[in-house]
Amino acid sequence: MKLKKLKGKPASPGITSGKIVILDEDHLNIEDKNIHPENIDGEIEKLLRAIEITRKELIQIRNNVNKTIGIEKGAIFDTHIMFLQDKILLNRIIDKIKNTRKSADFVFYNEMKRIQNILENSKEEYIKDRALDIKDVKRRVIRNIQGISPRKFLFSNENVILVCYELTPSEAISLNKKNILGFVTELGGQTSHVAILARSLELPCVVGIPDLMKKIKPDDTLIIDGNRGEIIINPSSYVNEKYKKYKTDFEKHKIELEKITNLPCVTLDNKKIELSANIEIPEEVQSAISQGAYGIGLFRTEYIYLTKTDLPSEETQFKEYKTIVEKVAPNPVIIRTLDIGGDKFTRSLFHPKEENPFLGWRSIRICLDNPEIFKTQLRAILRASSFGKVKIMFPMISSFEELKKAKWILKQTATKLEKEKIPFDSNIEIGVMIEVPSAVIIAEHLAAEVDFFSIGTNDLVQYTLAADRGNYRVSHLYKFLQPAIIRMIKSIIETGHKKNIWVGMCGEMAGDPISTLLLLGLDIDELSVSPVALTKIKKILLNSRFSEAKLIAEKCLKLKTARQIENYLKKEMLKRFPDLITNYI
Ligand code: PEP
Ligand code: MG
């Protein structure tokens, strides 16, 4: 029989197998109903009442979650509650009910769907995943308008794998997880709530499996391989045995890696590397810390802007930053200022259509052109700095003037806070991302103005090699092991050190095990990687010698092609850490 294997995205590692429970798609019945003019007020009242009931439900869920799971998860519902309190959105819906004379559920549904579509169409996965928050709120309000109760999950006492089209945040959180072996969903990305939940429960999870619901039947059994992001439907006993072995190997390996989680990150010959985590949403902090991150080396702040209908206020931002900073204190959190643009556009304010968005109005350019938006964020970051250790990082700096201007706005903001007697860390470290080739060339001048550099290979590679990071047609050209890139990295680190500042890396290359020995040998001071990569990279660093890594880097610098460099590094890795570059771990 042909092996029925479906591929998705790996969302939480581990391997499990068992029977399944399928949750059907949660259909809302929305009719396009015309309302008699006399009943319009009644319709608006129905909407307001439903919003109020939903608000109370959400407050109750939030309070329960705060008590039982923790305030970090409860904060998801704060976002939902705030969304419901958005006056501009509410007035727009009321006006639409009045002007179109359509029913409250119909208008509310369409307005929410519109926002949901904007988020779903984003290329950024974590923004796409936030569409589910909108959907969650939409369903609750519609049910309360229509007076129907939410879908129920009926589980027996048997252990099962949960299979569904998607799981909203409130469903994911209020689920009885006792008998769940793992999660599999048709929709969703690595930052969806089901993925985050699975990681925090340490249960295997695969998301984003195309046509899953069509291909699976209620009496199927499944294997979830959360490491490779695939599931096997009705495996034969031979395949079952094979996966049992993978599972045993993986678990042994996990135990081994866990032993190093709390060790300081130092090589065998005593070179210290700061190993931190990149996060995109606050819910990721906990798993980053528990997987041994020293601090947060890149906090991407875009989600705050992209998941709100309005520009986030200083207070909203301050609270988000403060929560993270307090959790990580006394260790540092590097907060990167708004890096919107390129492919991260959703809000109408930031929506000019451009021929070349990656070469257009993005990131620091938008902030410098909108000093009020920029200052609001800087105030929030500075205020959060008095609750732990914060560092500010400016993205996409391509010239000296840009850095000076950004620093000048920061200075003005700090002076104003001082006058208002609002506390902040006046010695806050300032850094720039080195992700545009021009910044590499003028690194010497930039270094004189800042406390650190963080190399953003994701952009640096696309701008240097002229290969769009999101275009699959040129993905074979987009390679961080190209000699041009590793020479640039060498030059950035050397220039930084000459000017006595530390140099880190927060692009994806930092979390790629094949590159670790090379980066160590080039004398990098800090690596910031996605939380799942932390232990792998740490194991390599703890068991390597800086002196040997330097020789490896020297050899790489002599090679002429990315293929040669990659093969050489793979060979060196296979000699030292064969378990880390197999497919399963
Ligand atoms: C980078 O460009 O390497 C980076 C870390 O930033 P982003 O991926 O958010 O552009
Ligand atoms: Mg970047």
Q: Is residue 307 predicted with pLDDT exceeding 90?
A: no
* Strands annotated E in 81-207: 160-164, 180-185, 205-207
pLDDT greater at residue 285 or residue 296: 296
Separation of alpha carbons 328 and 331, rounded Å = 6
Q: 3-class SS at 277? A: strand
Separation of alpha carbons 470 and 114, rounded Å = 25
Separation of alpha carbons 397 and 435, rounded Å = 8
DSSP state of 477: T
Q: How many CA atoms lie less than 13 Å away from 181 in the CB half-sphere?
A: 18
Q: pLDDT tens for residues 385-434?
A: 999 999 999 999 999 999 999 999 999 999 999 999 999 999 999 999 99
Atom of ligand 1 nearest to the CA of 435: 2
336 contacts 345 by C-beta, under 8 angstroms: no
Separation of alpha carbons 223 and 234, rounded Å = 8
| Structural domains of the chain in order of their starting residue, each with its CATH number | 4-25+152-240 (3.50.30.10), 37-146 (1.10.274.10), 264-347+355-538 (3.20.20.60)
- What's the pLDDT at 80? 85
Ligand 1, CB cutoff 6 Å, lining residues: 298, 300, 339, 435, 456-459, 506-507
| Residue whose CA lies nearest to ligand 1 atom number 3 | 456
Q: pLDDT tens for residues 456-513?
A: 999 999 999 999 887 778 888 999 999 999 999 999 999 999 999 999 999 989 999 9
Mean pLDDT of the chain, nearest integer? 89
DSSP state of 393: E
Question: Which of 276, 454, 459, 503 for a ligand 1 pocket mutation test, highest count of atoms within 8 Å of Cβ?
Answer: 459
Q: In percent, how much of the chain has pLDDT > 70?
A: 93
**Terminal alpha carbon distance of the chain:** 28
Residues acting as catalytic residues: 193, 506
pLDDT greater at residue 150 or residue 256: 256
Atom of ligand 1 nearest to the CA of 278: 5
Q: 492 C-alpha vs ligand 2 centroid, how far in Å?
A: 16
Output phi, psi for 159, to 5 deg: -80, 130
- What's the pLDDT at 584? 40
Q: Is residue 136 predicted with pLDDT exceeding 80?
A: yes
Q: pLDDT tens for residues 316-333?
A: 999 999 999 999 999 999
Q: pLDDT tens for residues 233-249?
A: 999 999 999 999 999 98
Q: 135 C-alpha vs ligand 2 centroid, how far in Å?
A: 29
489 contacts 522 by C-beta, under 8 angstroms: yes
Contacts of 387 (CB under 8 A, 6+ apart): 322, 325, 326, 329
| Residue whose CA lies nearest to ligand 1 atom number 7 | 458
Kindly write down the DSSP assignment for every residue of 141-174, as one continuous string: HHHHHHT-PPP-----SS-EEEEES---HHHHHH
pLDDT greater at residue 168 or residue 59: 59
Q: What is the dihedral of CA 538, 543, 546, 547, to 10 degrees?
A: -170
| Residue whose CA lies nearest to ligand 1 atom number 5 | 507
Q: 432 C-alpha vs ligand 1 centroid, how far in Å?
A: 12
Q: Is residue 378 predicted with pLDDT exceeding 60?
A: yes
| Residue whose CA lies nearest to ligand 1 atom number 9 | 300
- Give the pTM: 0.74
pLDDT (average), residues 170-181: 76
Q: 462 C-alpha vs ligand 2 centroid, how far in Å?
A: 10
Query: How sure is the predictor about 232, in pLDDT bands with cuts at 50, 70 and 90?
Result: very high
* Strands annotated E in 226-356: 230-233, 274-279, 296-300, 332-336
Atom of ligand 1 nearest to the CA of 457: 3
Q: pLDDT tens for residues 522-552?
A: 999 999 998 888 998 999 999 999 999 999 9
